[in-house]
Amino acid sequence: MTPHTALRPALALLLVSAAAAAQPEPEGQQPPAVDSAGDDAPVAPPPAAEPAPAAAAATPVFGFDATAYPPAAVSDRGAEPKPPREKPPVPRWQVFAGMRGAFVDDGGYNLFSERDFAGQGSLWGARTVYHSGDVSIAGALAFDASAHDSTIRGERTSLALYRLTLGPEVRLHFAPELYVYARPSAGVLRSVATLDESTTGSSLHSNGWLVAIDAFAGVAADVLDLSGERGELRFWVAAEGGYGWTSATDLRFLPDEDDASAPNRVAALDLGSLAQRGPGFRLAIGASF
């Protein structure tokens, strides 16, 4: 499988997200006011955490707790300019899309790739569930998917991997725009391996469910803040690295039971086992809201 192939889903996701983010705002949907000083002007630090006034909760926009943010005064012509909207200290919801790369030195994987590198499209989302000071914790759900194909001694092989992990993301915010995080997670990996074997004239399959455990740490940076009155919309870039581990599954290829073209009583073709273990990284672009 070529690197480009592995990256296709990730790139697509990324581009779609980027395209969506780059769409001009439809009329009437003004982004929240931003610092008139421009994008480069330093952003006023968020006010110190104070107990939010027990004001009537404004209608949440973009899901944020509007009580943390004083409602923008209705401005009319000639009214005094509104004060700049303060960036929330921690993102509430985040969605990232990007690619995951893993260095998989596994014999089983060699059947499906000429390289020890597995690229996957990665999509994860997080919801901050706790915030205290500079630390926040979010629950993150990640989904990685990839498809690989190759040939072994001329016979075509293909492997589809689907990983779903869930875990907490512990963040340390240096600024509303920057935080580092660690995210241990666990989940499952579904492998679907196929071998087009010539003597049977059929496709032989070997599928498995694997336990997947990831331990990643990274950094995320707010690179574009388009938050406005209607709510927060910030764009992030995240990079993380870590280690992914899965259990192993035997690669025992057999034809489908309903494959009438395959010979009867085909012995399983044992080609070892498959496990996705090894260091990895993610690069993603996300948005928070």
Stretch that binds another protein, among 64-72, 111-119, 134-142, 177-185 (CB under 8 A): 111-119
Residue 155, interface with another protein (CB under 8 A)?
A: yes
Whether residue 99 contacts residue 122, with contact meaning beta carbons closer than 8 Å, is answered with: yes
* Tokens matching residue 249: 């599954």
In the window 25-84, what residues touch another protein (CB under 8 A)?
none
State residue 16 phi and psi, 5-degree precision.
Answer: -60, -45
> Contacting another protein (CB under 8 A), which of 30, 37, 71, 116?
116
Compute the distance between CA of residue 133 and CA of residue 130 in angstroms, rounded to an integer. 10
How many chain residues bind another protein (CB under 8 A)?
Answer: 55
Residue 283 beta carbon to another protein: minimum distance, rounded to whole angstroms: 5
Residue 159 beta carbon to another protein: minimum distance, rounded to whole angstroms: 13
Positive or negative: CA dihedral 180, 185, 190, 191: positive
Whether residue 248 contacts residue 275, with contact meaning beta carbons closer than 8 Å, is answered with: yes
Nearer to another protein, 141 or 237 (CB): 237
> Contacting another protein (CB under 8 A), which of 212, 274, 275, 283?
283
Compute the distance between CA of residue 180 and CA of residue 238 in angstroms, rounded to an integer. 9
Stretch that binds another protein, among 4-12, 26-34, 137-145, 174-182 (CB under 8 A): 4-12
Residue 2, interface with another protein (CB under 8 A)?
A: yes
Nearer to another protein, 133 or 154 (CB): 154
Stretch that binds another protein, among 42-50, 112-120, 131-139, 140-148 (CB under 8 A): 112-120
Coil, helix or strand at residue 112: coil
State residue 60 phi and psi, 5-degree precision.
Answer: -60, 135
In the window 234-263, what residues touch another protein (CB under 8 A)?
235, 237, 253, 263
Which one, of 209, 216, 282, lies nearest residue 244 by Cα?
Answer: 216
Nearer to another protein, 86 or 197 (CB): 197
Q: Is 102 buried (19+), middle (13-18) or exposed (0-12) by CB count in 10 A?
A: buried
Compute the distance between CA of residue 282 and CA of residue 218 in angstroms, rounded to an integer. 9
Residue 13 beta carbon to another protein: minimum distance, rounded to whole angstroms: 11
Positive or negative: CA dihedral 22, 28, 32, 33: positive
Compute the distance between CA of residue 101 and CA of residue 4 in angstroms, rounded to an integer. 12
> Contacting another protein (CB under 8 A), which of 107, 129, 135, 256?
107
Which one, of 39, 81, 98, 76, lies nearest residue 238 by Cα?
Answer: 98
In the window 175-234, what residues touch another protein (CB under 8 A)?
195, 197-201, 204, 223-224
Give contact residues for another protein (rule: CB under 8 A): 2-4, 6-7, 10-11, 14-15, 18, 21-22, 98-99, 101, 103, 105, 107, 109-111, 113-117, 119, 150-155, 195, 197-201, 204, 223-224, 235, 237, 253, 263-267, 269, 271-272, 283, 285
